[in-house]
Structure 1
Amino acid sequence: MNRPTTAVTAVREGAIGEYLGKMGPSWVAGAIAAGPATMASLVTAGAQFDYALLWVVVLSAFAGAMAQYLAMRLGLLTERGIVAVVEDHVGEWWAWVLVADAVIAAGVAQLVIMNTAATVSASITGFDAGLWGVVWALVLAAGLAGRGYRFVELVAKLLVTAVVIAFVASLFVVPIDPGAAAGGLVPSIPGGGAVVAAGILGGAVHITLITMHSYTMRAREWTIDEYGLATVDVGASMLVAFGAYSVAIFLVTASVLSEPNLTTVGAAEALGPLVGTSAEWLFLLGLGGAAISTLGGNTIVPPFLLADKLGWGTTVADSRYRALLAGFALLSAPGAFIGGEVLGQLVLVLALGTVGTPFAIAVVLYLLNSGAVPEANSTLGNIGGLALLVVSSGLAANFVREQVNAGIDPLSGAVLTFGGILGIATVALVGKYIHDRPSARIDSEPA
């Protein structure tokens, strides 16, 4: 791709109104971020630690926006899927590691999120959760295989907007303590809060969100000429919409709920007798909308990456990709039969995402500072990316340490093994960059 670097521009003056009607790809990422797993972490944080982790909630919105901006920049500058770029500029083995990382994280999340969606649907309607699991799986398969990405984007825009409105509205029926909330902006992690903090950040800075962005922009046929539009898309969805969603949920639960063993649906039900049925229903409907929108967005991630790695098309025009979409959607149905309380499962899923995310961030930074792109990353972009890498690595390490201290069971052992492999891969990738950097500079010099 031979594009002049002058094509990379910032937001055009007076173009915000024009951009608002064309946004989309980052809203799909926002739909996944603003899902029940993030909600579970926010509910747990507020119910167990009051306002103490508000600073993590605020940080997660900025961190999520920065991660999506870097992923967006890579996608627009290469105009290719991230897996193909990794394979060409880092190596095939690294591409497979990235695919495995994303597919495992997305696959585990899909099952637990389906459990949540089915449970909430059953609570609202009174019908069996298992039946709802089958229904939602069929809806996903038919919608995605029939209409592909456009179906996901439309649902994401509508549901994310509705969910944000629902939770922000709940702030007006729940008493907030401004002084205590302000105290929560001072960084500190209370005892036992590392996993929850990792879950909160993991909802915003997640490998599925980072890896999917190049594919969703390709589905919209965005190129480097849409740089300003893509920037506004990231800011509006991750910084504004996702930020409002996260802060609203956290403040509601921190203000009126104090229950260490609270469940996700139980959080909604507990609001009824405390502050009225309006808050209960707003919370319950918001949880249901978040679960359904997240299912749609999360379903498309593994097929995108697998199809790209196998050299297939990444639109429904390719029957092989369509089959991947339908298959992954249908495989989510068993999630409704997992059983047990989903709150702990959801928090662990996000913590798993946090463990896998530093590698994805390292990959993006590697590519943005290599010959893969026509314009090297800015100093400010690199500082932001390195800060993301350090923070996500630190939270992942805290999570691992808490798991070790609590004792290893099969599930946490699998997470620790997963994290250990990716930790080694991340360190190896950094070493590869340092080793290859001098030759990259020489190769890039004009003859």
Structure 2
Amino acid sequence: MATSRDASGTVKTYLQEMGPSWVAGAIAAGPATMASLIAAGAGYGYDLLWVVVLSAFAGALAQYLAMRLGLLTERGIVGVVEDHLGESWAWILVLDAVIAAGVAQLVIMNTVASVSATITGLDAGIWGIIWAVILAVGLAGSGYRFVELFAKVLVSAVVLAFVASVFVVPIDPAAAASGLVPSVPGGSAAVAAAVLGGAVHITLITMHSYTMRAREWTADEYDLATFDVGISMLVAFGIYSVAIFLVTASVLSDPNLSTVGAAEALGPLVGERAEVLFLLGLGGAAVSTLGGNTIVPPFLLADKLGWGTTVEDSRYRGLLAAFALLSAPGAFIGGEVLGQLVLVLAIGTVGTPFAIAVVLYLLNSGAVPRVNSLPANLAGVALLAVTGGLAANFLRETATIEFFREATAGNVDVLTAAVLSFGVILSIATLGLLVKFFQERVAGTVP
């Protein structure tokens, strides 16, 4: 039986060694998630608090399943998919993740540049170029370790900033408690999907096997990896999400506020300290998310092309630098970032059920030496059902009768059409994968 000293020593060691899930947490705790939380709190009061709490548990579960797959195979997810499902399925996964991460990268850069411009007064376009160069040099030079250290420091600082803001802003405990009762107010499907999409996102699921490989973790680090997921996603990300939501639900009532606008609105309402804390938290979250998101497409593309996934391979290093530099145009998008960020997360939610289905398939096949336990499978299926349901609700709200009427008249909303096409293709792929799994189960030939 372990003594308390042994247990405290183990926890201390784990705190020193944890890291890969913090990179996922850095992406999750970003401006897109913040935008969805602001829209949820300012637009629906405390009503969607249950979704915010659920998102932390769902995010931790998704990362745990992804962690199991990465540790038990000791390979990147794309290579495992190609071996056990085939090349076509691998390309669908790669394109799903690259599209979701690429769109997010541009909008996040827009946010980072806007925040930097607000704080310094320097033009946002110039900041976009500066941040792109910093990313390219930092990532191509130092690779994963640079991102992990960056994520640990900034996520910790961001969480502290928002926890501090909770003590500055008056919260109504009774009203907040009522928000723990599940309800979906009219018109909130996209926002609810975005809130959940911040925690359960295809980029977070697909990147986890690669960040653990970068740390050379194997099945021997199973307990450490589980601890890493719990502290970063369930605790740190959960506190971050709840704190932002409570602040905005308590004092803001304009769902059309931008992330920067929300921070500036807090000043006249509850004091300058709240505004400063919110801006600092927003800036840190935006920068940490930008860095973490940059490494996702290069990981998957390099694995699919048979290249190395560390900076020792010059081809992978080139992919890192290229993706970092290609994010610079995001600073010139302009427009209101809140709606853009919420849409980015909602799009990610549309692509996420397929990634979850892939992970569940592989964890119940010959890809791993120990298949999923029944509780893990039940939790995974529940997660698939929740994300699939929110994605379906979002697509249903997007595919309104008005849209089809406009499309029939030749006035096509290109962005809406693209989102619908993306969702339909991935829905078919997800259903096809589920059918494939059950057919193989019936035939007794699950690979």
Give, in whole Å, the separation in 2 of the partners of 1:93 and 1:330: 29
1:418 maps to what in 2?
422
Distance in 2 separating the partners of 1:227 and 1:36: 31
SS class of match (1:15): helix
CA distance in 1: counterparts of 2:304 and 2:128, whole angstroms: 30
The reply to whether residue 381 of structure 1 matches residue 376 of structure 2 is yes
Cα 1:406–1:19 change in 2 (3 A) is farther
* Equivalent position to 1:432, from 420, 432, 436: 436
1:235 counterpart residue number: 230
Give 1:413 deviation, angstroms.
1.2
For residues 86 and 13 of structure 1, the distance between their equivalents in structure 2, rounded to whole angstroms, comes to 39
Note the C-alpha offset of 1:101: 0.2
Query: Structure 1: which 5+ residue stretches go unaligned?
Result: 1-10
Hey, what does 1:337 align to over in structure 2? Answer: 332
Are positions 1:215 and 2:210 aligned together? Answer: yes
**2:172 equivalent to 1:177:** yes
Q: 2:37–2:245: 8 Å Cα contact kept in structure 1?
A: yes
Q: 1:301 aligns with which of 296, 305, 320?
A: 296
TM superposition shift of 1:406? 7.1
- 1:404 matched to 2:408? The reply is no
Asked if 1:190 is matched to 2:185, the reply is yes
| CA shift for structure 1 position 410 | 1.3
Partner of residue 6, structure 1: none
C-alpha distance in structure 1 between counterparts of 2:378 and 2:246, whole Å: 30
TM value normalised by structure 2: 0.95
Q: Distance in 1 between matches of 2:188 and 2:101?
A: 24
Q: Distance in 1 between matches of 2:443 and 2:428?
A: 24
| 1:258 and 2:241 matched | no
Code of the aligned partner of 2:77: I
Aligned length: 433
Amino acid aligned to 1:393:
G
Summarize the Cα distance change of 1:341–1:17 in structure 2 as closer, same or farther, 3 Å threshold.
Answer: same
Could you tell me how far apart the structure 2 residues matched to 1:353 and 1:324 are? 22
Q: Deviations over 1:64-94 (max 9, x none)?
A: 0000000000000000000000000011100
Superposed CA RMSD in Å reads 1.3
* Partner amino acid, structure 2, of 1:260: P
Helix, strand or coil: the match of 2:400?
A: helix
Who is 2:365 aligned against?
370
- TM-score, normalising length: structure 1: 0.95
Distance in 1, Cα, partners of 2:118 & 2:401 = 33
Aligned match of 1:149? 144
- Amino acid in the other structure paired with 2:174: G
Whichever residue aligns with residue 301 of structure 1, its letter is: V
Amino acid corresponding to residue 416 of structure 2 in structure 1: S
Please state whether the residue corresponding to 1:123 is helix, strand or coil.
helix
**1:367 deviation in Å?**
0.1
- For residue 43 of structure 1, what is the aligned residue in structure 2? 38
> How far, CA to CA, are the matches of 1:383 and 1:287 in structure 2?
36
Q: What are the Cα deviations for residues 238-270 of structure 1, in whole angstroms up to 9, with x where unaligned?
A: 000000000000000000001132111100000
Is the 2:161–2:277 Cα contact (8 Å) retained in structure 1?
yes
Q: CA deviation at 1:435?
A: 1.3
Cα distance, 1:292–1:434 mapped onto 2, change above 3 Å: same
Alpha carbons of 1:368 and 1:297: their partners in 2 closer, same or farther (altered >3 Å)? Answer: same
Against the structure 1 CA distance between its residues 259 and 426, is the aligned structure 2 distance closer, same or farther, given a 3 Å change threshold? same
2:109 paired residue among 87, 100, 114: 114
- Deviation, structure 1 residue 442: 8.3
The answer (yes or no) to whether the contact 2:440–2:446 under 8 Å persists in 1 is no
Q: Which secondary structure does the structure 2 equivalent of 1:292 belong to?
A: helix
Is the aligned partner of 1:328 residue 2:326? no
Deviation of 1:18 after TM superposition, in Å, equals 1.3
